[in-house]
Amino acid sequence: MITQINTARTQLEALLNPELWEQNESYQDQTKRFLIKRLQLQSKIMLIAGVTLTAFFIWVNQETVHKIYAFKVGFLVESFILACWYSCRTSIGSRYPHLIFLCLSWCSTCVIQIDTALLFNYVEPLTNIWNLTFLTQATIVPVLWRMHLISQLGTIVCYVGLYIFFDPQLGYPLAHYVEKGLYLFWTGLVCVLSVYLYEKLRKKEFQATQELEIAKQQSEKLLLNILPEVIAEKLKQHPSTIADSFQAVTVLFADIVGFTELSTRTSPPQLVELLNQIFCLFDELAERHGVEKIKTIGDAYMAVAGLPNQRGDHAISIANMALDMQKALAEFNQKNNLSFRIRIGVSTGPVVAGVIGLKKFAYDLWGDTVNTASRMESHGIAGNTQVCEASYQLLKDSYILEKRGLIKIKGKGEMVTYLLQGVKS
């Protein structure tokens, strides 16, 4: 009936915007989890790749001193990567994942470039390692396109600084360096562009999912305003006929006396506003006492206790609510300088409850108990709560009830009824 939305949501650009984190904490947590997991994966891959490359260079170099240099460079870089991997598991890594991203990037580009320059006096650009790093980052961590761009620019700035400091002579023709520069430029551009497009797509998906989630929440709220939560869940899981029989519940009917006459001399907006204020008070009382509101018909209010979740104190809950309804209306009159009164009828017994309708469906009750409660209200006294014999038997030990005597009830004949006066001290 209501579409279930189980779409994973991330708005990745929020990593660079702390204000968005503060506005949507659940999104922040989800995004950080995604990033931390991907950075951990990248660290593991870089550790394995570093070991294999270091072993290769040690094997290729014939001179012992070069083997030692290769081992030192590899050990230093692996130590940086291992530190980044460990940081992902700490609170610092959770707060600043973009910094770990840059550290991982530069430890495989800048650190190697600096080490080779210091140890071997070799300042040629290691573009193979740079391109491998940039492509790996764009594939494994396809987020934070700005950080990808910063990592690439930082690598180039680091190299330019080394070149200026060591001032080496060009070992190859200029065309060789131009070719390498073009490959590096296009590799970096493709990586940044792919990450940017991916983030843009994910942002649109997040916005669409967020709108669907809002619509779902509104539908859920609307459904729960119409149906009890238990019945709403049943209807969503099994959209078929829902009907249950309850052997012991207490039904309440309330009617505002004189409200129909008031409608003839009051403007519609003012009339509806008054009725809404009164029924809102009744709704608050229903929630407070654990009573299920069934419906309103004109200026009549219907509620029940003991369903859909059965409870043994259903009569007591309705009695307390009825007394509070009379009190709440009296306070409302005093506050607004009005003179409304209500008749309340209460009846206890078995009912059948279910959902009816195809479009404007409703949860309703049927049975003699419902009819009796309605008659208790219509044959009652303004400003009082009239209960039947079955309700009286459940309330007599805890409440003050005045016997009204035999009353001729339409469709029921003569019945003994009682007026609920208050709670026994």
Residues 85-96: tens digit of each pLDDT: 888 888 888 788
Q: Is the pLDDT of residue 414 over 90?
A: no
Please give the pLDDT value at position 14: 38
- Highest mean pLDDT range out of 87-96, 161-170, 373-382, 408-417? 373-382
367: tokens are 């049975």
CA distance 132 to 139: 11
**Can you give the pTM of this predicted structure?**
0.54
Please give the pLDDT value at position 13: 39
pLDDT digits (tens, 9 = 90+) for 212-268: 878 877 777 776 666 666 666 666 666 666 778 889 999 999 998 878 777 777 788
Reduced to 3 states (helix: H, G, I; strand: E, B; else coil), residue 250 is strand
In the chain, what are the domain boundaries? 12-217, 229-423
Please give the pLDDT value at position 92: 81
CA distance 246 to 369: 11
319: tokens are 């009695």
pLDDT digits (tens, 9 = 90+) for 337-381: 888 899 999 999 999 988 876 666 777 888 999 999 999 998 889
Taking residues 399-405, report their average pLDDT.
89
8 A C-beta contact, residue 79 and residue 73: no
- Cite the DSSP H helix spans in 227-313: 229-237, 259-263, 268-289
Q: What does the DSSP assignment read for 65-110?
A: HHHHHHHHHHHHHHHHHHHHHHHTTSHHHHH-HHHHHHHHHHHTTH
Please give the pLDDT value at position 340: 87
Return the sign of the alpha-carbon dihedral for residues 10, 11, 13, 15.
negative
166 to 121, 122, 124, 285, 390: CA distances (angstroms):
8, 9, 11, 83, 101
> What CATH number should be reported for the domain whose range is 229-423?
3.30.70.1230
DSSP 396: T
